Amino acid sequence: MAEPLLSVENLVTHIFTDHGVVKAVDGVSLTIAPGEAVALVGESGSGKSMTAQSLMRLPRPPARILSGSVRFEGRDLLTLSEREMRAIRGGRMGMIFQDPSTYLNPLMRVGDQIAEAVMLHRKMRRAAARAEALEAMRLVRIPAPETVMDYYPHQLSGGMRQRILIAMVVTSRPSLMIADEPTTALDVTVQAQIMRLLAGLRTELGSALLLITHDLGLVAEFCDRVYVMYGGRIVETGTAEDIFYAPRHPYTRALMRSTLGPERRVERFEAIEGNPPNLARLPPGCSFNPRCPERLARCAHDAPPLFASASGVASRCWLAEGGSDERAA
């Protein structure tokens, strides 16, 4: 079997605050094969974005990566120097953020910003870098790129700004693109355009894609495998088909009932009762226990491991073990 492009083992990233230690990423393990599209899904506050930032070693104090390994193209990124990491970050591994306005310089023309990324990662002179920037803008389907190159970010729509950010990423032809909620701030029509663009680039460049999202509809259409995250931990993983049609974890099933999915049309969504856990004060046992309609007596004090099924789905739930505990009152 070929070595995974990315292999993460027991990654731990905590945030140290005056009110306690926030266990944002608490022993996360995942793999991505070359060219594969993988989704990391869950509610806001589940630790998805901090996981993505940790893969690229972006957390800054008070957040700190404490332990684990992140092997990318055969190298453990957590052992590299900052100089070595900069060559990978934005080079072999590119990140597309949720709000492009935060990452685009409002005082620079967008063409110059893309060219600057080319000069940094591919060591080209400015004229050659601008030519590469123009080609990247064509690659991400920006109309009239020769004209748009001279625009400032405020002159572009949200969807066009996101395309500029994607163009900055694809100039280095990365083997892995990490997209952190790339369509959240966009209207539905533009969301579809951006996701189709990422899917096309994945094929054209041969890149793998890690999609961080809470939108299960996008996952169903564009991803091969899914990791479901809750309370800083992976609670279920499997193929997109398995997760949508045969979820084993109560949280995953609750997510499915509260959103639209493939071939799913409902008159009324079912809300998940209660609130997401406070990552600084996680409950004992299973972190989903206080909200779980299927909880067992042992869930309040015993934290379950990931149980693998014959189908390949792994679920962090005592029900997946096939136990016979009495249901808690």
Supply the pLDDT for residue 322: 62
Q: Which amino acid is at 9?
A: E
Supply the pLDDT for residue 323: 40
Q: What is the DSSP string of 81-148?
A: -HHHHHHHBTTTEEEE-S-HHHHS-TTS-HHHHHHHHHHHHH---HHHHHHHHHHHHHHTT-SSHHHH
Domains of the chain listed by start with CATH number: 6-92+172-321 (3.40.50.300), 102-171 (no CATH)
Supply the pLDDT for residue 326: 39
Supply the pLDDT for residue 329: 33
Supply the pLDDT for residue 147: 96
Q: List the end-to-end C-alpha distance of the chain, in Å, as a whole number.
A: 47
In whole angstroms, give the CA distance from residue 182 to residue 59: 19
pLDDT digits (tens, 9 = 90+) for 183-230: 887 888 888 899 999 999 999 999 999 999 988 888 988 999 999 999
Supply the pLDDT for residue 282: 93
Supply the pLDDT for residue 260: 57
Q: What is the DSSP string of 145-170?
A: HHHHTT--GGGS-HHHHHHHHHHHHH
In whole angstroms, give the CA distance from residue 222 to residue 240: 9
Supply the pLDDT for residue 325: 40
Q: Would you state the structure tokens that stand for residue 317, as one six-digit string?
A: 């739930």
Supply the pLDDT for residue 327: 40
Supply the pLDDT for residue 265: 53
**List of the chain residues with pLDDT < 70:** 1-2, 259-269, 322-329
Supply the pLDDT for residue 266: 54
Supply the pLDDT for residue 13: 98
Q: Which amino acid is at 317?
A: C
Q: How many CA atoms lie within 13 Å of 257's alpha carbon, on the beta-carbon side?
A: 11
